[in-house]
């Protein structure tokens, strides 16, 4: 029987066949570990955990990565409030997340990359984007030039004006276009940071997943999955920077999104 998946990139039910018939690749956006997860955060791991089991059963093997975002402004704020390093926050809540998923019967992924362990990969990807004209440095920041990627919006199917109006974008004077998004941002002395060609700083959220997916699954993956709330801007931005970083190669062949949980008619 043919396995068919609803591909949100095409909005169609399509037959699935992996690039490597012996080892499909699956990347799922994982948690930002600054607090305990709620029940809605568990829907993705449960839903795509079932898919992972199915793929293993059908193909005999699977390369399944689900990341841990362990550097983020929410993490920084929690660490600052408690007067501890960010690792004290992230280690605690990553462990709690794993315990909660295990209690739900979710099998761990094959690979669980952490953003802070991939800073060199992130810097290298950003350097490549600058070199190819898809990103630019400005006042300690590096930004992706949305206008340099003609297919921007192909996943969410929004026109640029609508995306700009609906996105929570920081309209800063150093941006060439208000819709350009941050790949790297400067860190003050009281914030975590790493040395880079653009000064001491930290990565933007979107570039982390692109770098981790490429490092562990290659430039093109079979399935990218996550919550529907991530479709824009996170997944849209992942597509743009990944495909520009890899010479136009398709980033993910299938895009799957789980819906939101609703209780009593409300989210």
Query: Please, are residues 158 and 166 in contact by the beta-carbon 8 Å criterion?
Result: yes
CA atoms within 13 A on the CB side of 142: 28
Domains of the chain, by residue range, sit at 19-258
C-alpha to C-alpha distance for 18 and 221, rounded to whole angstroms: 9
The pLDDT of residue 130:
98
CA atoms within 13 A on the CB side of 43: 14
3-state secondary structure the chain: CCCEEEECCCCEEEECCCCCCCCCEEEECCCECCCCCCHHHHHHHHHHHHHHHHHHHHHCCCEEEECEECCCHHHHHHHHHHCCCHHHHHHHHHHHHHHHHHHCCCCCCCECCEHHHHHHHHHHHHHHHHHCCCEEEECCEEEECHHHCCCCCCCCCCCHHHHHHHCCCCCCCCCCCCCCEEEEEECCCCCCCECCCCCCEEECHHHHHHHHHHHHHCCCEEEEEEEHHHHHHHHHHHHHHHHHHCCCCCCEEEEEEECCCCECCEC
The pLDDT of residue 135:
98
The pLDDT of residue 188:
93
The pLDDT of residue 172:
80
Judging by DSSP bridges, how do beta strands 252-258 and 4-7 pair with one another?
Answer: unpaired
Which residues of the chain fall short of a pLDDT of 50?
165-168
C-alpha to C-alpha distance for 166 and 161, rounded to whole angstroms: 9
The pLDDT of residue 170:
54
C-alpha to C-alpha distance for 55 and 82, rounded to whole angstroms: 42
The pLDDT of residue 33:
96
Edge-to-edge strand order for the sheet containing 141-144? 135-138, 141-144, 181-186, 201-203
CATH superfamily of 19-258: HUPs (3.40.50.620)
Angle subtended by helix axes 39-59 and 86-103, to nearest 10: 60
């Amino acid at each position: 029987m043919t396995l068919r998946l609803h591909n949100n990139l095409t909005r169609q039910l399509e037959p699935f066949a992996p690039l490597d018939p012996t080892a499909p690749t699956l990347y799922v956006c994982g948690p930002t570990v600054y607090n305990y997860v709620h029940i809605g955060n568990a829907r993705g791991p449960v839903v795509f955990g079932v898919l992972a089991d199915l793929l293993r059963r059908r193909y005999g093997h699977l390369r399944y990565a689900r990341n841990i975002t362990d550097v983020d402004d929410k993490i920084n704020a929690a660490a600052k409030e408690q007067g501890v390093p960010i690792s004290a926050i992230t280690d605690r809540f990553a462990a709690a997340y794993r315990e909660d998923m295990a209690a739900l019967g979710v099998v761990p992924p094959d690979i669980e990359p952490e953003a802070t362990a991939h800073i060199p990969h992130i810097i290298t990807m950003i350097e490549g984007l600058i070199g190819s004209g898809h990103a630019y440095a400005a006042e300690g920041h590096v930004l992706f030039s949305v206008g340099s990627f003609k297919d921007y919006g192909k996943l969410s199917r929004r026109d640029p004006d609508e995306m700009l109006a609906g996105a929570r974008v920081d309209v800063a004077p150093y941006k060439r276009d208000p819709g350009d998004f941050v790949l790297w941002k400067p860190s003050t002395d009281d914030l975590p940071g790493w040395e880079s060609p653009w000064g001491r700083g930290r990565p933007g959220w979107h570039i982390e997943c692109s770098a981790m997916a490429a490092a562990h699954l290659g430039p093109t993956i079979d399935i990218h999955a996550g919550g529907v709330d991530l479709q824009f801007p996170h997944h849209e931005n992942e597509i743009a920077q990944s495909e520009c970083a890899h010479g136009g190669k398709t980033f993910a062949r299938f895009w799957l999104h789980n819906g939101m949980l609703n209780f009593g008619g409300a989210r």
